Amino acid sequence: MALRHDCGKHDCKWKKLYRPLLFTLLGFVIAVVFIILVIYLALRPTKPSFFIQDATVYQFNMTSPNFLTSTLQVSLYSRNPNSRVGIYYDSLDMYASYHNEQITLSTGLPSVYQGDNDVSIWSPLLCGASIPISPYLGVAFDRDHAVGLAVITVKVKGVLKWKVGTWVSGQYQLYVSCPAYLTCVGKDGRAGPIFSLQQPATCSTDV
């Protein structure tokens, strides 16, 4: 004789009332995630493009033993290449590096929203006073001064969010690297050679 399992009144009531609700809620969540995934795959957001429009190094000299002082005016151009996706930028920090060593303090950039195909330009002043550098960098510094050429990389770190309609994504880490090839355009008796960007510098962007 088969045994029949009878659920208690409380358990049976829970199953009748809450199980359909649970399945409905689960189905709704799956549908929302599916819709977001379809929108993302259909729109395929393209990462923003950056380049250096202009850069001038007003101060770039080294004091003994290995301390570098530099002052740069940089104009960073950014464009949102997407036609149906907006971009929020936040917590952006810009600094300059020389032969992979940071030579200025990080400077915060204003947060901004870029709509479809919008353009933004930041023009901060990057400064570093008596920044300690590796001894080998002194050799590269002397060589660059002698030939009147220098490569200073402008870097930006921060976060961005994609916006599609009223939907806003989570945060994505943004890394921008812009190698600027500079030539000597004059000298300042106190600050040393003045270097300037001769043509716009294209940046690499990782999101």
For the segment 18-43, what is each residue's pLDDT rounded down to a tens digit? 667 777 788 888 888 777 776 665 55
Q: DSSP letters of 24-90?
A: HHHHHHHHHHHHHHHHHHHH-PPPPEEEEEEEEEEEEEEETTTEEEEEEEEEEEEE---SS-EEEEE
| Contacts of 22 by beta carbon, 8 Å cutoff, 6+ apart | none
pTM as predicted? 0.76
Residues 48, 43: Cα–Cα separation, whole Å? 14
CA separation (Å) from 25 to 10, 14, 21, 29? 22, 16, 6, 6
Does any domain span residue 3?
A: no
Report pLDDT for 87. 95
Structural domain that includes position 21:
9-44
> Do residues 19 and 92 both lie within one domain?
no
- Mean pLDDT value across residues 98-115: 94
Element (H, E) at 16: helix 9-43
Digit-coded pLDDT (tens) for 187-201? 766 656 778 887 788
Q: How far, rounded to the nearest angstrom, does the alpha carbon of residue 124 sit from its chain's CA centroid?
A: 15
Residues 88, 61: Cα–Cα separation, whole Å? 37
Report pLDDT for 140. 86
> Do residues 37 and 119 both lie within one domain?
no
- Mean pLDDT value across residues 69-75: 92
Digit-coded pLDDT (tens) for 114-170? 998 899 999 999 999 989 988 888 888 888 888 888 899 999 999 999 998 888 888
Higher pLDDT, residue 91 or 14: 91
Which tokens go with 103? 């030579």
User: 184 in helix, strand or coil?
Assistant: strand
> Do residues 113 and 34 both lie within one domain?
no
Does any domain span residue 1?
A: no
Does any domain span residue 207?
A: no
Give the pLDDT band (50/70/90) at residue 185: confident
The total number of structural domains in the chain stands at: 2
CATH at residue 71: 2.60.40
Is the Cβ–Cβ distance between 106 and 93 less than 8 Å? yes
